[in-house]
Structure 1
Amino acid sequence: MNRRKLIQSLSLGLPAILLSSKLSALAINRDAAKEFVEKILAGPFSPTWESLSNYQTPEWFRDAKFGMWAHWGPQCQPEAGDWYARNMYMEGNWKYKYHVEKYGHPSKFGFKDVINIWKAEKWDPEALVSLYKSAGAKYFMALANHHDNLDLYDSKYQKNWNSVKQGPKKDIIGGWAAAAKKHGLPFAVSVHAAHTWSWFETAQRADKTGPLAGVPYDGTLTKKDGKGKWWDGLDPQELYAQNHELSKNSEDDGMIHKQWHWGNGVTPPSKAYIDKFFNRTIDLIDKYRPDMIYFDDSQFPMWPISDAGLKIAAHMYNKSIKDNGKLTAVITGKILTQEQRKAMVWDIERGQSNSIEPLPWQTDTCIGDWHYDRGIYDRKAYKTPKTIIHTLVDVVSKNGNLMLNIPVRGDGTIDELERKIVEEIGIWMNANGDSIYGTRPWKIFGEGPAQNQAAALTAQGFNEGKGKPFSQQDIRFTTKGNALFATVMAWPTDGSVLITSLAVDSSSYPQKINSVQLVATGQELKFERNADGLKVYFPDVMPSAAYANPLRIV
């Protein structure tokens, strides 16, 4: 029956108020059906690889070079490191043992219950973003959701399992976005929830040994099981998404990595699951207008089993053009072909390229574990400021950016060791940032022994710390305007350094050298140039935080 005939039928003998309520219900149902799958914004980009390959990385991202990330959510509450919500359901895993001791058995106290006790009671987004800006960050990123599937914003489609309704009862992304805007930083979000489907399959398990052997964990609970519990009226399946058959070899804890491409026997996600992820992400983009999205996916999320990720990208690019008059949006993905790198920015996790990349790219890494780990704090095992600065200088010389995560405790604070590291990074950045911000790669990225022993990339990255440490013989180059920056990766112990790439007959730099300055102080340095290279004499007094020492050469 069409709408006109239904109205005629309803109007026969019905009181006006009843007719009005019937028509209102009809309108609501019609709108709900219309909104079940969000519409993508029309514009120059279509949801195809061919169309998206016309993408051009915006200049703000290329100039920024250094961003900081709050990879923070309910998995930080136990202070036991990354992938807690998956590993707590792995019998024998140390996080399982930790969970049983701290909270109880996962059949009785599951991850939904961890969410319930996460309160973020000391979270001050403005203070943290202010700190990160003072340390030299030129953009800021916040976790919008992780594989644990809790949306950390006022989510229209994950309406019962989000941080406004559960846990802290706060709009986490809204708070971060406001703080970034106040401090004039482009705002990025990271989205990881595409893989909840298979990542959370461990929650379907049960112990194989012990007094609770065979008792299912809480990953298969449904709404009817919540009667009389704190989650009465909530459906755990909206969080866990485990109302499906296990993937092939699901009992193999490492299989998830081999199935990240949605292959190798993974149980295919349902259309409803894919649609919901799509809707949630479009809602996130429209509501908070991020400048950048980091996807923890091999390419765009759900590819190649669905074009949902392509649609999200087309929507974000078109929205950016509509809102800003030009394309300013950035989207990152991890394991990309050369062609796919034209459609989005290549992100390397915990590693870096070993050559100058023709297109801008990004390294993402962390001073500790992605989610806060108290053990790293206790062992004083964070990365040092020197390590971070060396990574930044090396990445920038190869046309990349560095996104650095500072783990946040469950209560919303960072510890004093982390704060000291951030402040030390800031000392170096404030003195030497001219050699980083707004620069572009030179003809070669560097010289020295470290590049000859660099480790190859594995999967999405993971080659950091595997090469030879940098020394005073290692130099990294960048350019800006008429200046060439040569960063000496350690303070020379003998008072001078020889840069062989700048020998008098160098084809890379045939022009005359008139001046060499130490960027940190602006001091003019004595130098000699001959067939062996450019020899630069360093001052007797070493500046603060001399982890790496840029020279401005003109």
Structure 2
Amino acid sequence: MNFSREDVEVYLQAVRRVIREGPFDATWDSLSQYQVPNWYQKAKFGIFIHWGLYSIPAFGNEWYSRNMYIQGSPEFEHHRKTYGEHKTFGYKDFIPQFQATNYDAEEWAQLFADAGARYVMPVAEHHDGFQMYRSDISAFNAYDMGPKRDLMGELETSLSERSIPFCASSHRIEHWFFMGHGKEFDSDIKEPLTRGDFYWPAEKEYGTHDLNAPAPSEEFMEDWLARCCEIVDNYRPKVFYFDWWIQHPAAKPYLREFAAYYYNRAAEWGAEVAINYKHDAFMFGTAVLDIERGQFAEQKPYFWQTCTSVATNSWGYTENNHYKTSYSLICDLVDIVSKNGTMLLNVGPKADGTIPDQDRHILLEIGEWLRVNGEAIYGSKVWRQAGEGPTTIEEGQFTDAEQKQFTSEDIRFTVNGSYLYATVLQYPEDGLVHIKSLADQDASKLPHFSGIIKDVTILGYEEKPVWKRTSSGLQCKTTQVQSDKPVVLKIELD
């Protein structure tokens, strides 16, 4: 069905009643009382899923729905050659082709469990406006069209059976402008567009990161708020992720309303939840900051998240994805966790619902490493410093395209219980590891560590290293340890 504006208003009246009656109200002052869930801070590793209509053309990236309407773009030309003119075959015409015939939520959930994921987050609605779940607000959803299945709900059920927290993301706000280029020539995107139309509103794009662009209308933002609250009500996600354009000033009052509603509903359920945001869309301390395709160079006193993907060119499936290695992703995971972060790693399933072999291979290799070394990751805390070594980490978003060249001197630290974990990102062939931060020095000089080391072992190996502590560092020597993945030294402290 399609909600009328009156239906949305009635629903939002109920939303605002929850806000009035709950512990949080829609102000930054109230929302600043929010506490990041303990389970989330312990999880350290989650799976992100970009799956939708854009996986049918599998060309370019997940922005196909926008780019196919930009005249002269590779997607524009590909679309004409493959599917015909835009006025006869537009983006909406992919909906009947999206059947998800091989989608098996049980298989997905088991793969994510085997990968060692401690939370899973499918994209509920991408910028293209097609909902991957059952919705009463718009008919353009996977339950009423295409596969006619509640794809997201099936995954939520399968994850719950494995006690893996279910999360969700909404990229709906970018739909305000995402399809606007289709109005610039003879395509299937034509005025008048009204609420309930798939392409509505398809406003002019002033630049995808232009926060001075004309504000989304009240009608659109109320529809946005209703869609987000519907996901909360029907699926109870443990984390709710937003993409970048919620940074627009016009979104601020609606963001505060959503956060108050979500946190109040979670209080009703007795659940701990979180919101992910980018840039400064939320007041600091009211939600969890996300760094897209990048990370911090230094350890932070606050909990944060990196979202990244197994492929460098696209979040969704394409026929020519450029894949990272499992080694590089494990190194990123270790680095992020040592700096008080968590990593949300994306995969892009094919249109039929199968997860590509390369995505699967990467996930299983990460899972194999975590089964051996997970105690250095899950539930760990930061040490006095994140690490040591010569390789610098470029700070900021979209810095993950180049694989970092780590050395045997690049080491990251975490603490769990009475153990300090030193993860050597590139284990030396000669088996000699030198950890400068653990030098035996005069405590009066206030080094990073002046405590007592009782023993050193290596996770996953029977060989015990020969170790000694000198004024230049902790030296560990092995003769049999060889690995193409990071190696974790488990250091028992007294």
TM-score by length of 2: 0.92
1:152 to 132, 140, 145: 132
What's the counterpart of residue 34 of structure 1? Answer: 10
1:499 to 435, 458, 479: 435
Q: Could you report, residue by residue, the CA deviation over 1:478-515 in whole angstroms, capped at 9, with x for unpaired residues? A: 00111111000012122211010110017221111111
1:429 to 362, 365, 370: 370
1:331 to 270, 275, 279: 275
Opposite residue 276 of structure 2, the aligned amino acid is T
CA distance in 1, matches of 2:31, 2:167: 20
CA distance in 2, matches of 1:528, 1:110: 68
Identity of aligned residues (%): 33
Offset at residue 96 of structure 1 (A): 1.3
Q: Secondary structure at the match of 1:328?
A: coil
CA distance in 2, matches of 1:140, 1:219: 34
Offset at residue 31 of structure 1 (A): 7.7
Q: 1:389 to 1:243 in 2, by over 3 A?
A: closer
What's the counterpart of residue 296 of structure 2? Answer: 353
What's the counterpart of residue 239 of structure 1? Answer: 198
2:395 to 448, 456, 463: 456
CA distance in 1, matches of 2:251, 2:195: 26
1:181 to 160, 164, 170: 160
Alignment of 1:305-320 (within 5 A): 305-320=251-266
CA distance in 2, matches of 1:51, 1:344: 12
Opposite residue 269 of structure 1, the aligned amino acid is P
Q: Secondary structure at the match of 1:99?
A: helix
Alignment of 1:250-289 (within 5 A): 250=206, 255-257=207-209, 259=210, 261=211, 263=212, 266-289=213-236
Opposite residue 382 of structure 1, the aligned amino acid is Y
1:139 equivalent in alignment to 2:84 = no
2:70 to 72, 90, 107: 90
Opposite residue 286 of structure 1, the aligned amino acid is D
Q: Secondary structure at the match of 1:515?
A: strand
Aligned residue pairs: how many?
479
Aligned 8 A contact 2:456 2:489 in 1: yes
Opposite residue 535 of structure 1, the aligned amino acid is Q
Q: 1:305 to 1:143 in 2, by over 3 A?
A: closer
Q: Secondary structure at the match of 2:284?
A: helix
What's the counterpart of residue 61 of structure 1? Answer: 40
Q: Secondary structure at the match of 2:454?
A: coil
Higher mean C-alpha displacement, 516-525 vs 58-67: 516-525
Q: 1:106 to 1:486 in 2, by over 3 A?
A: same
What's the counterpart of residue 491 of structure 2? Answer: 553
What's the counterpart of residue 317 of structure 2? Answer: 372
Q: 1:197 to 1:528 in 2, by over 3 A?
A: same
Unaligned runs of 5+ in 1: 1-27, 207-215, 224-234
Offset at residue 35 of structure 1 (A): 2.8
Offset at residue 100 of structure 1 (A): 1.2
What's the counterpart of residue 12 of structure 1? Answer: none
CA distance in 1, matches of 2:248, 2:146: 28
Aligned 8 A contact 1:455 1:466 in 2: no
1:45 to 24, 30, 33: 24
Aligned 8 A contact 1:519 1:549 in 2: yes
Aligned 8 A contact 2:179 2:202 in 1: no
Opposite residue 113 of structure 1, the aligned amino acid is D
Offset at residue 385 of structure 1 (A): 0.5
Aligned 8 A contact 2:119 2:165 in 1: yes
Aligned 8 A contact 1:222 1:236 in 2: no
CA distance in 1, matches of 2:267, 2:247: 22
CA distance in 1, matches of 2:478, 2:401: 28
2:86 to 99, 106, 110: 106
Q: Secondary structure at the match of 2:167?
A: strand
Aligned 8 A contact 1:126 1:176 in 2: yes
Q: Secondary structure at the match of 2:189?
A: helix
CA distance in 2, matches of 1:418, 1:243: 33
Offset at residue 242 of structure 1 (A): 2.9
CA distance in 1, matches of 2:92, 2:5: 31
CA distance in 2, matches of 1:409, 1:243: 27
2:415 to 476, 479, 488: 479
What's the counterpart of residue 200 of structure 1? Answer: 179
What's the counterpart of residue 108 of structure 2? Answer: 128
TM-score by length of 1: 0.82
What's the counterpart of residue 268 of structure 2? Answer: 322
What's the counterpart of residue 324 of structure 2? Answer: 383
Q: Secondary structure at the match of 1:524?
A: coil
Aligned 8 A contact 1:151 1:162 in 2: yes
Aligned 8 A contact 2:247 2:280 in 1: no
CA distance in 2, matches of 1:222, 1:166: 23
CA distance in 2, matches of 1:306, 1:509: 45
Q: Could you report, residue by residue, the CA deviation over 1:169-223 in whole angstroms, capped at 9, with x for unpaired residues? A: 11111111111111110011011001111122122221xxxxxxxxx22222558
CA distance in 2, matches of 1:30, 1:191: 23
What's the counterpart of residue 23 of structure 1? Answer: none
Q: Secondary structure at the match of 1:187?
A: coil
Q: Could you report, residue by residue, the CA deviation over 1:492-540 in whole angstroms, capped at 9, with x for unpaired residues? A: 1222110101100172211111111101236432111111111111241
Opposite residue 532 of structure 1, the aligned amino acid is S
Offset at residue 33 of structure 1 (A): 5.6
Larger radius of gyration: 1
Q: 1:548 to 1:429 in 2, by over 3 A?
A: same
Opposite residue 215 of structure 2, the aligned amino acid is P
What's the counterpart of residue 446 of structure 1? Answer: 387
1:514 equivalent in alignment to 2:454 = yes
Aligned 8 A contact 1:295 1:301 in 2: no
Q: Secondary structure at the match of 1:388?
A: helix
Q: Secondary structure at the match of 1:39?
A: helix
CA distance in 2, matches of 1:553, 1:272: 58
Q: Secondary structure at the match of 1:220?
A: coil
Aligned 8 A contact 1:431 1:521 in 2: no
CA distance in 2, matches of 1:553, 1:514: 8
CA distance in 2, matches of 1:268, 1:547: 48
CA distance in 2, matches of 1:422, 1:518: 23
CA distance in 2, matches of 1:420, 1:531: 43
CA distance in 2, matches of 1:308, 1:89: 30
What's the counterpart of residue 56 of structure 2? Answer: 77
Q: Secondary structure at the match of 1:69?
A: strand
